[in-house]
């Protein structure tokens, strides 16, 4: 059973924008935090941004001022608006859901290149 589904990745030029979406299954109850992580080739997975059920957000320093995370609790969905994208933002982006256990999505590729 697929619990978390990401969408919205793709190829974009430097300076462009993308919006990622992550929908968590209705079978997941008591969701606390939802967030986005990314992993570039040869690097460890790192936090990009997260948001709690109460709306408290956390961002990596590298994306502050460029990325915005938001959440629709009624739809169990979290979004990541990415603006002013840079080549170093290229990675596979993973959605993480914190409930009674952790859930990870399968990832969506974001490539920033001219």
Other CB atoms within 10 A of residue 96 CB: 19
Whose CA is closest to 32, among 78, 63, 82, 79? 78
What pLDDT was estimated at residue 29?
80
The residue assigned the tokens 């914190």 is 98
> pLDDT (tens digit, 9 = 90+) per residue, 15-31?
999 999 999 998 888 88
What pLDDT was estimated at residue 1?
74
> pLDDT (tens digit, 9 = 90+) per residue, 28-79?
888 899 999 999 999 999 999 999 999 999 999 999 999 999 999 889 999 9
CB hemisphere CA count around 107 (13 angstroms): 12
The residue assigned the tokens 């974009």 is 12
CA-to-CA separations, 80 to 42, 62, 77, 101, in angstroms, rounded = 23, 14, 10, 22
Contacts of 76 (CB under 8 A, 6+ apart): 23, 24, 25, 26, 28, 31
Other CB atoms within 10 A of residue 73 CB: 13
């Amino acid at each position: 059973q697929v619990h978390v589904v990401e969408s919205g990745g793709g190829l974009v030029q430097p300076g462009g924008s993308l919006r990622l979406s992550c929908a968590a299954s209705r079978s997941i109850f008591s969701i606390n935090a939802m967030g986005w992580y990314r992993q570039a080739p040869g690097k460890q997975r790192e936090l990009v941004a997260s948001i709690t059920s109460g709306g408290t957000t956390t961002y990596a320093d590298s994306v502050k001022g460029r990325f915005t995370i938001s959440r629709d609790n009624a739809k169990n969905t979290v979004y990541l608006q990415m603006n002013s994208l840079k080549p170093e933002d290229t990675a596979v982006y993973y959605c993480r859901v914190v409930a009674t256990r952790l859930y990870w999505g399968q990832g969506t590729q974001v490539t920033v290149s001219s």
